[in-house]
Amino acid sequence: MAYITKTKNGYRALVEIKGQRASKSFDKKRDAEAWAAAKELEFRALAGGQGGSIRTLLDALRRYAEEVSPHKRGARWELIRLQAFESAAHRPLPIHTKLANIATAQLSDWRDARLKVVSRGTVLRDISLLSAVLDVAKRDWQWIKTNPLADMRKPSSPPHRDRIINWREIMAILSVLGYRFGPVRSVPQAVGACFVVALNTGMRAGELCGLTWDRIHLDYCRLLMTKNGQPRDVPLTSRAYKAIQSLRGWDDERVFGLTASVLDMSFRRARIRAGLSGFTFHDSRHTAATLLAPRMDVLDLAKMFGWRNVNQAMVYYNPTATQIKSRIRPR
């Protein structure tokens, strides 16, 4: 029902339908009546599961950003990506089209346009996020009955990276960063220590940057927040432990005293200064898996790296044919 009441400064419109309630003040009665009529139609459509006839894709993106994303790990980056859907970079995404009127063909046009300017991996991540928004609009908000992305063909997954950072490159990076296993007294040295620990444990950049001193033990460290959402104990090699101890006194709370963005930027700059290219900090994880795999049982390696499926070892373990041959026992 809609109610219009006279107030001291004008008119107040109130609409209540099946648990949905909204009110707004106006100077003129006709404006209050018009708003109330429109809001009543909107509420009745939502109550009848017809929200897609009045809500646009933009409405869904913004509601998802307000209600869902803030409760996720990595909320900051997801909010940035959601906002990017509104930019010209994502044309011809039909953000102003009513959800009920969005056709799979329109989303296919958007996919093809994106593939011309960004990588397949980026497009797949965009599709995954957009599909999550539409799934919530369908399941939780009941704005639509089907997800128009469900039947859209997705690009093939890009090949997994198999870049291994070799010993010469490792030493060149550490030299530029000024790291010598001594006491850390600068950001570049902290980045060097972080790199060494990554190479000896396979920990991700985010896990390393979030590591606090109370989680460091003699032969392992305890990760509370990981990519798969499960805590993990990571064994520390003697070299990793020594690198961590070199950071004593650098930051009272966090071991490395670095944010993920500072780590990434500093590592890229050091790589450029060293005259190197073709790898990122994350490739230290591939390198660690390849170095550790010959010395460990595959189940232990999976436990250490936080893989729920041991087949993940085939993604990160990237030995050369020469390395494999060297481990073949003669008959």
pLDDT tens digits, 108-160: 999 999 999 999 989 999 999 999 999 999 998 888 888 999 989 999 887 77
> In the chain, what are the domain boundaries?
2-48, 57-139, 167-326
What would the two tokens of residue 90 be? 């994502």
CA nearest to 44, candidates 16, 14, 63: 16
- The backbone torsions φ and ψ at residue 56, rounded to the nearest 5 degrees and listed phi first, read -95, 170
- Tokens 């209540």 found at: 16
Nearest by Cα to 203 from 174, 180, 237, 169: 237
pTM over 0.75: no
- Largest Cα–Cα separation, the chain: 99
* 46 has pLDDT over 70: no
Q: CA-CA distance, 201 to 31, in Å (whole number)? A: 65
CATH architecture of 167-326: Orthogonal Bundle (1.10)
- Tally: H helices and E strands in the chain: 14, 5
Is it the case that residue 47 has pLDDT exceeding 70? no
Over 80: is that where the pLDDT of 314 sits?
A: no
